Structures are given as structure tokens and as C-alpha cells.
Structure 1
Amino acid sequence: MKILLLLSVLLLAGCSHSIHMVQSSGFDGVPVDMKTAHYVEATMTQDVVFFFAFDTDYVDEAKAKLEQQCAGNLSAVSTQFSTSHGFFHWTNKILMKGICS
């Protein structure tokens, strides 16, 4: 009985984190003047509960949020997709970084 109780507590309280994919693009070989350039970053999340996904356009929102921070040329964009798991719930996260010049 104690083992069953211990296993059920561990299963209900368990969580994990995973980075699925990292993509980089926009490295066209043109040097960036770091005196005028600055880094920009945008993060958005999507909650999934019992396999029902909410806010399915979170990647588009992160891209728009990143572009709003840069009035000039956006280059060297890095996109990281990760997930945090919980009990019948997980959160998909997108993190975009770039150099604005």
C-alpha cells in the first residue's frame, strides 16, 4: 500500500523540461556594426491541457513581437522550441533572438 501511494504521488508531481529544436538563420556573411546594433528577444508560450491546445498562433506572435523591437535590419535570428511537462498539462515555449542593425 505504501509503495502504491508513493508511486501515485511521484506520478502526479512529476515534471520534465525538454528543448526540442534550435534553428538559426540570417547569417548572410555581412558584418554587423556592433556599435549601433543591439540584441532583441521575444518569448511566447502555448498551454496544452488534456491535449487541448490554446493560443495556437504563439509562434507568429513571437515573430511579430521580435520584429516590433527592430526598426532596421533583423539578422542572425535564433529560434528555440522547448516544452515543460506537468501532470496532464504542458507548456510549449518559443524563444526568438536576433541582432537589430
Structure 2
Amino acid sequence: MNVKLLFSLIAMLAITGCTHSIHMVHTDGFGSNMKAKTQKTKIVEARAEQKVVLFFAFDTDYVDQAKADLESQCQGNLQAVSTQFSTSHGFLHWTNKILMKGVCAS
């Protein structure tokens, strides 16, 4: 096999490859004031993304958007909130992602 061809194939795979990384998971609101399981509760979820191309970040308020979306789904008491921050990498760009989940008690 030709060395140039082998190098070209390896370079193409490296350039087009992608990775995914979970950076942080934060939880809050698991205190003693949580509602009893017998009360009406439901799981609510919100997601938001930020695109970054060549180190230029767009939509810098994506975390606030996810938080507002999560709060809008719960008219009662929002508790036990977990926030997951992750990134998906591509060639010269990446996407920051936020996933928020919580328990809504009515």
C-alpha cells in the first residue's frame, strides 16, 4: 500500500472524526423540604445548545433559555434539579449542550 494513500486515509479520518464529552453534572434541591412521593409530581426537562465555529460563540444565553424553559413547565414547586453540561466536537466547530431535569410538585 502506498504511504501517501495510507497517510491520506488516516488524515481524513482524523479531520472528520468527532468526540463527545460530559464536563459537569450539578444537582441541587434534594433537601428535607422535598414533597412526599405520594403527592402529585412529574419530571420536567429542558435542553439548549450553543454553536461555536472557529472559536466564535453564538447564542451565549443558552443556559438562561434552558432554565426559563424548565421553569415554564412547572407551575408548582420545582425541586431536585440536575444540570448536565456537555460538548460535541467536530472539525473546527463544537456544540455546547445543557440538559436540565427537575421534579415538579403540585
Q: Scaled by the length of structure 2, what TM-score is found?
A: 0.90
Matches within 5 A, 1:1-101: 1-34=4-37, 35-101=39-105
Q: How many residues align?
A: 101
Aligned CA RMSD, in angstroms, stands at: 1.0
Bigger Rg, structure 1 or 2: 2
Which portions of structure 1, spanning 4 or more consecutive aligned residues, are displaced by more than 3 angstroms? none
CA deviation profile, 1:45-85 (whole Å, cap 9, x unmatched): 00001111000000000000000000111000000000000
Q: Scaled by the length of structure 1, what TM-score is found?
A: 0.94
Query: Which one is further off, 25-34 or 63-72?
Result: 25-34
Q: Which runs of 5+ in 1 are unaligned?
A: none
Q: Which runs of 5+ in 2 are unaligned?
A: none
Structure 1 residue 7: Cα displacement: 2.2
